[in-house]
Amino acid sequence: MPSGVRDIQLLELKDTISQLNNTISTQNELIRSPQKMLQERDAKDSEKDQLIANLQAQLDYLKTRLFGSTSEIRHEQLPGQLDLFHLQTEDEPEPVPLEVEYIEVKAHRKARKSKAAYDEVFADLPTENVYVDTLTEEQKTCDVCGTMMIPIGHELIRTELRYTEPKLERIDYYATTYECPQCKETEDPRFIKDEGTPALIPGSYASSGLAAHVMYYKYVMSMPLYRQEKDFEHLGVKISRTTMASWIIYCAENYFLPMYEYLHRKLLKRRYLMADETPIQVLKEEGRRPQSKSYVWLVRTGDNGGIPIL
C-alpha cells in the first residue's frame, strides 16, 4: 500500500479518536452534572431534616411546658425557710379519715314515647278515600245459594302518600267583546270589551303562582335561580335566570314594598335588634364606581319574646 494512502488513513483515525474523546468528555460532563445536582439536593434535604428535627424538639418542649403536668412542690429546703406543707407539730393528733357516705341511686327506665298515629302526622294533608273494588262478579256470588252479595260496610286497610309531580300549563286568556243590539244599526254602535284582571307583571307570562314558586324556592328552600332554570327545562320550558330575577325585583318593588315598610316600622319599635353586614360589589350604581364596596344589611329583632321580624 503506498505510504500516502496509509498516512491519510492514519490522519482519519486520529480525527476519529479525537472526536470520540470529545464525545466521551461531553458525556462525562453530562453525567457529572446530575450527580452534582443530586449531591446539592441531598445536602439541602439534610439541612431541612435537621431544621425540622430542631423545630419538632422545640414544639415538644413548648407543648410539655404548656399542657404538661406541673408541680409547685420543692423537694429541697432552703436554709431558714419553713415548710408550708409540713407545719404539723408533734402535739397535734393525727387526722381522722372520714368515712365516705355512699348514696344508692335506683335504676330507672325512660318511658318510650308512643308512636304518632297517621291522623296526627298527616293532619294538615287533604284526604281522599278510595273504596276497594277488585273482586270479580264470580267472587261476589255466594257459594251456598248463588245470590249476588251486596256491600254492607267499609274497613280501613292501609294508608299511603301520593306524590303529584309539578307541571307547567299554558293558559290563554281571551277578551270578550259585547255590543248593544239596539244601537247596532244606528250611526253610533256601542261596544264594550271584557279584558279581565290585569297581568301580575305587564308584558310578562308570569302568573302569581309561578312567581311565588320561584321566590319560595330561592329564599325559603335556598335553591339558586340557575338550578331552577335547569328544573324548568326538565318540565319542557326554558325560563332564564335573568327573567326570574326581573320577576322578583318587580314583585318586590310593586307588591312587597308596603308590607316591608310596615314591618320596618314595627321592627324599629323593638328595644333590641341584631344586625349583620355582607360586603358586595354593585355594578352600574348611580354616583359610584364599580370598584367601590357596598354592603347588604340584615336586621332582625332580638330574642325578647315578641314575634320575630327579619
Per residue in 229-244, pLDDT (tens digit) is 999 999 999 999 999 9
C-alpha distances out from residue 288 to 160, 284, 294, Å: 59, 8, 10
218/302 same-domain check: no
Q: How high is the pLDDT of residue 278?
A: 93
Establish if 180 belongs to a structural domain. yes
Establish if 263 belongs to a structural domain. yes
- What 3-state DSSP class applies to 237? coil
Q: How high is the pLDDT of residue 224?
A: 96
Structural domain containing residue 279: 270-310
184/265 same-domain check: yes
Q: How high is the pLDDT of residue 104?
A: 79
Please give the tally of structural domains in the chain: 2
The phi and psi torsions of 183 (rounded to 5 degrees) equal: -90, 5
Q: How high is the pLDDT of residue 28?
A: 83
Rounded CA gap, 223 and 244, in Å? 13
- What does the pLDDT look like over 26-78, one tens digit per residue? 888 888 888 788 888 888 888 899 999 999 988 888 888 787 766 555 555 55
Name the strand (E) or helix (H) holding 240: none
**Within a 13 Å sphere around the CA of 178, how many CA atoms are in the beta-carbon half?**
6
Q: How high is the pLDDT of residue 203?
A: 92
Q: How high is the pLDDT of residue 73?
A: 53
225/304 same-domain check: no
228/276 same-domain check: no
Q: Which residues of the chain have pLDDT under 70?
A: 1-3, 69-96, 98, 100, 113, 115-116
The phi and psi torsions of 72 (rounded to 5 degrees) equal: -100, 10
Query: Parallel, antiparallel, or unpaired: how do β-strands 191-194 and 273-280 relate?
Result: unpaired
Q: How far is CA 217 from the centre of its chain?
A: 14
264/302 same-domain check: no
- Write out 276-292 in H/E/C secondary structure: EEEEECCCCCCCCCCCC
Provide the grid cell at 123: 293532619
Establish if 230 belongs to a structural domain. yes
